[in-house]
Amino acid sequence: MSVSTFGSADDPAVLLIGGAGASMDWWPPAFCRMLTGRYVIRYDHRDTGDAPSYPPGAPGYTGTDLVTDALAVLDGLGVAAAHVVGISMGGGIAQELVLDHPDRVLSLTAMSTTAGAGDPDLPGMVPLEFPPDPDWADQAAVVSHLVAGQRVMSAEPFDEREIREIAEIAVARTTNLESSQKNHYATTDDSGPWRHRLPGIGVPVLVLHGDSDPLFPLPHGEALAREIPGARLVVLENTGHEFPGRNWPVVAKEILGISR
């Protein structure tokens, strides 16, 4: 899988883990460069970018494999332990990483994520109308599809130009566009629930969560911060299930603070 780094390997490592269907391009270089004094690492999940691809709807890997992929990235770079930042599905991967491999994680930043999807004490997803599948062979149509899907999950103001620029880069790099948008949702959840294990997390934890997240409403982030000892919650104002450029300065500041 492709890996990209910023900064010096002599500095504290920050591993960025993207969400479902997201290549490393959704951690834009302009944001990565805001993490000054850190060795910033981003990578392509399986089925995204030019990472190994599988037939649509038939991923040849499990959720646990996505966790061990993150470890493989660190191993390949010779990084013993990193400050781990995960968004959405990547936030779940980051939580499992610190629970199962605590010696590899120096701190955890969980953004727009949950440990309790489907739990009765937490709100479900707000009803959303996603766009229909595009012609997966038409790159321009797929770009527009990704932009439309992100718009559904975002708060206003929505910067279509910003998202389109990222989507164009990601689509151009992706081996199988249909697989990239379907296979993470088709993986077998072989790890089981882990919310009950959250009190066992012993590293510094930062929870970043949008106040208007329709996929994982704010109580999901509040539960993480409440159930992980010492965790700190930062609510991102006027923010849905997204990572808009207007939030990069505050997110970068918070990550730099926890990764000293």
d(CA 119, CA 227): 14
Q: pTM surpassing 0.95?
A: yes
Q: pLDDT-derived band of residue 189, with 50, 70 and 90 as boundaries?
A: confident
- Topology of the domain covering 3-258: Rossmann fold (3.40.50)
Please confirm, yes or no, whether 103 is among the known catalytic residues.
no
Closest to 206 measured CA to CA, from 170, 236, 184: 236
Mean pLDDT within 106-135: 97
* Section 73-94 average pLDDT: 98
For the segment 131-169, what is each residue's pLDDT rounded down to a tens digit?
999 999 999 999 999 999 999 999 999 999 999 999 999
> Please, what is the average pLDDT of the chain?
97
In this prediction, residues 225-233 reach a mean pLDDT of: 98
Instruction: Select which of 88, 154, 180, 259 is catalytic.
Output: 88
Q: Which of 83, 145, 220, 241 is catalytic?
A: 241
Q: Which of 209, 213, 220, 259 is catalytic?
A: 213
188 — pLDDT class (breaks 50, 70, 90): confident
Flag whether pLDDT at 192 surpasses 90.
no
Average pLDDT over residues 77-92: 98
Taking CA 66 as the corner, what is the angle to CA 14 and CA 122, rounded to the nearest 5 degrees?
Answer: 85
Domain positions in the chain are 3-258
* Residue recorded with tokens 């605590």: 102
Token pair 């646990």 in the structure block, residue: 64
pLDDT 10s digits, 2-48? 999 999 999 999 999 999 999 999 999 999 999 999 999 999 999 99
| Percent of the chain residues topping a pLDDT of 70 | 100
User: Environment class of residue 59 by beta-carbon count within 10 Å: exposed (0-12), middle (13-18) or buried (19+)?
Assistant: buried
Q: Is a pLDDT exceeding 90 seen at residue 242?
A: yes
Residue 191 has pLDDT above 90, yes or no: no
Q: Could you confirm whether 83 is annotated as catalytic?
A: no
First to last CA, the chain: 28
Active site residue 212: no
